[in-house]
């Protein structure tokens, strides 16, 4: 078929397993480590792309439907990008952008899902973009622009769908995440099998300029659809580090998108240069490295109240690794729990904040995290600390089997020592042996 009659691309979830994943060394600039390898399950959003020519970075136009009524970026200091009111023929809308890249968005008033139309333009004037927005057909299932409203020279490339999740648009398919929360750095590598037309579709959401990337013409810049606030793990004093830096290109039939936070441009380029195609065996070896992720890099240096965090206990089994970070300041102790998985995304197991009391250090056993029943990988992991008079902690099951739980160094408040373990079944009992040989099953639970 010619372009105008091309069929929508197949769902990438059906073919991503046949693509060759990209891998990288276990260490990268900024001390990044592999945190997860998953198949992106971000919800797919309808999008149609128009272009002048067939190369990434030429004049392009796209119309997309997203489940967001607000594209303002509180971490972007550029007022022009945050948007300004603009009057369309039938809608009050918002326009923003930077350089050659502009967007216009307005909510779909008839939608019950908080959906919005978005018109994205590369290399187009504001007048051309406004005219195109006035030609959007009011069909959220198949967004398109009337031919009479298209800028001169632009033709239909393809109609399809792209997954978009929160503040970071994704390609779908195989996704790798590399992080170092101590340095507040994160890189996501998304890959999706696709032809040149699908690459233009993906490139329509990138506010990038053409650049040679790994021997081909790609895009280097940022994300047009970034929105929402960042989590504490990625907040920097230098706000430029909180703007996603994107590289997108097509290589060997696979569209690759690298989106980084907390890194300078030269570090992102160094990361991209180190990427290599990896077969199934290499991917499995990479999954094993996930469980060796340095526990101290899973937590930012301070929590939301500027309390220092450090790892107090961690462990692993065949499929998961876990760690708990904690910090004490002004009499308040904060704990954060996270789980890594060979097969699934990282689990933020939550945490808690409670007033620290000296009596806690004298209690034999205190559980800060109990066994849960939420269907998460962290369900069977419990964590707590032993008082200063305890030399051994043991877990015992109904069948009579038991195991000693390793205790960390006496570095917690009041000299407590932390422990964690995977509880193999319920019920179970915890016991503490004190220095004088006494055994107690008394357990305090916090908060």
Kindly report, residue by residue over 40-56, the tens digit of the pLDDT. 766 677 889 998 876 66
Share of the chain above pLDDT 70, in %: 84
User: For the CA atoms of 233, 337, 182, 306, what is the dihedral angle to 10 degrees?
Assistant: 70
User: Which of 14-18, 137-141, 181-185, 413-417 has the lowest average pLDDT?
Assistant: 14-18
Here the tokens at position 271 are 């990361």
What average pLDDT does range 392-406 have in this prediction?
Answer: 95
Answer with the residue of higher pLDDT: 442 or 40. 442
Cβ atoms of residues 181 and 175 within 8 Å: no
Mean pLDDT of the chain: 83
369 has which bridge partners? 383
Q: Is the peptide bond before 427 cis (omega within 30 degrees of 0)?
A: yes
Cβ 314 vs Cβ 420: under 8 Å = yes
Task: Report residue 178 CA to chain centroid gap.
Answer: 10
332, with CB counted inside 10 A (0-12, 13-18, 19+), is middle
For the chain, give the percent of residues with pLDDT over 90.
43
Q: How confident is the model at residue 1 (pLDDT cuts 50, 70, 90)?
A: very low
Rg (CA), the chain: 26
Do β-strands 22-23 and 276-277 pair in parallel, antiparallel, or remain unpaired? antiparallel
Spatial distance between the Cα atoms of 412 and 409, rounded to a whole number of angstroms:
8
DSSP string, 111-146: -SS--EEEEEEES--HHHHHHHHHTB-S-TTS--B-
Position 382 scores a pLDDT of 94
Burial label for 74, CB within 10 Å (0-12, 13-18, 19+), is exposed
**Residue pLDDT, tens place only, 271-304:** 999 888 777 788 888 888 899 999 999 999 887 7
Using pLDDT thresholds of 50, 70 and 90, give the confidence band for residue 19: low
Reported confidence tier of residue 17, pLDDT bands at 50, 70, 90: very low
User: Distance between CA atoms of 1 and 129, rounded to whole angstroms?
Assistant: 28
74 has pLDDT over 90: no
Give the Cβ contact number of residue 93 at 10 Å.
23
Residue 226 has a pLDDT of 63
Q: Which residues contact 351 (CB under 8 A, 6 or more apart)?
A: 324, 334, 335, 336, 337
| Interatomic CA distance for residues 164 and 254, integer angstroms | 18
Report whether pLDDT(71) > 90. no
- Answer whether 110's CB lies under 8 Å from 90's CB: no
8 Å CB contact between 254 and 87: no
- The pLDDT score that the predictor gives to residue 164 is 63
pTM, two decimals, is: 0.84
Tokens 């992080």, residue?
A: 179
Alpha-carbon dihedral 258, 261, 267, 268, rounded to 10 degrees: 10
How far apart (Å, rounded) are the C-alpha atoms in residues 74 and 8? Answer: 35
User: Which of 65-74, 195-204, 217-226, 387-396 is most confident?
Assistant: 387-396
pLDDT value at position 57? 66
189 within 8 A of 250, measured Cβ to Cβ: no
Measured CA to CA, the distance from residue 196 to residue 289 in angstroms comes to 34
Q: How far is CA 36 from CA 53, 64, 224, 284, 292, in A?
A: 37, 29, 25, 12, 12
Q: 408 to each of 313, 336, 423, how far by Cα in Å?
A: 7, 17, 18
What pLDDT does 14 receive?
Answer: 28
Which residues have a Cβ under 8 Å from the Cβ of 400 and sit 6 or more positions away?
none
pLDDT tens, position by position, 131-175: 999 999 988 888 999 999 999 999 998 888 876 655 555 676 788
Worst-scoring range by mean pLDDT, 177-191, 228-242, 320-334? 228-242
């Amino acid at each position: 078929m010619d372009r105008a009659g091309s069929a929508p691309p197949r769902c990438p979830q059906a073919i991503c397993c046949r693509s060759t994943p990209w891998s990288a060394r276990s260490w990268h600039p900024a001390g990044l480590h592999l945190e997860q390898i998953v198949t992106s399950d971000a919800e797919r959003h309808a999008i149609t792309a128009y272009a002048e020519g067939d190369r990434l970075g030429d004049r392009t136009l796209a119309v997309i439907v997203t489940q967001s009524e607000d594209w303002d970026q509180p971490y972007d200091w550029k007022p022009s990008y945050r948007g300004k009111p603009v009057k369309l023929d039938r809608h009050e809308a918002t326009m923003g952008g930077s350089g050659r890249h502009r967007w216009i968005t307005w909510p779909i008033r008839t939608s019950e899902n908080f959906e919005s139309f978005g018109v994205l333009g590369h290399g187009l004037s504001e007048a051309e973009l406004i005219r195109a927005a006035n030609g959007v057909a009011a069909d959220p299932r198949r967004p398109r622009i009337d031919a009479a409203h298209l800028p001169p020279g632009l033709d239909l490339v393809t109609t399809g769908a792209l997954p978009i999740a929160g503040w970071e648009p994704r390609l779908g398919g195989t996704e790798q995440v590399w992080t170092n929360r101590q340095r507040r750095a994160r890189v996501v590598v998304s890959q999706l099998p696709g032809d040149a037309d699908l690459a233009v579709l993906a490139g329509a959401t990138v506010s990038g300029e053409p650049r040679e990337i790994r021997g081909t013409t790609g895009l280097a810049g940022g994300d047009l659809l970034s929105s929402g606030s960042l989590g504490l793990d990625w907040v920097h004093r230098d706000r430029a580090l909180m703007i996603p830096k994107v590289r997108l290109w097509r290589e060997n039939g696979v569209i690759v998108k690298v989106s980084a936070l907390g890194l300078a441009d030269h570090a992102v380029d160094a990361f991209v240069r180190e990427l290599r195609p990896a077969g199934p065996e290499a991917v499995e070896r990479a999954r094993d490295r996930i469980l060796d992720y340095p526990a101290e890099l899973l937590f930012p240096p301070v929590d939301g109240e500027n309390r220092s965090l450090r790892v107090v206990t961690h462990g692993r089994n065949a499929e998961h690794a876990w760690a708990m970070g904690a910090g004490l300041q002004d009499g308040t102790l904060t704990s954060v729990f996270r789980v890594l998985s060979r097969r699934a995304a990282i689990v933020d197991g939550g945490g808690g904040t409670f007033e620290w009391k000296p009596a806690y250090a004298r209690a034999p056993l205190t559980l800060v995290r109990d066994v849960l029943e939420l269907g998460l990988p962290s369900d069977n992991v419990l964590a707590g600390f032993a008082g200063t008079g305890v030399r051994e902690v043991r877990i015992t099951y109904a069948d009579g089997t038991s195991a000693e739980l390793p205790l960390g160094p006496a570095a917690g408040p009041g000299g407590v020592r932390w422990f964690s373990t995977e509880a193999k079944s319920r019920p179970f009992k915890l016991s503490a042996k004190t220095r004088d040989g006494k055994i107690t099953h008394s357990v305090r639970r916090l908060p």
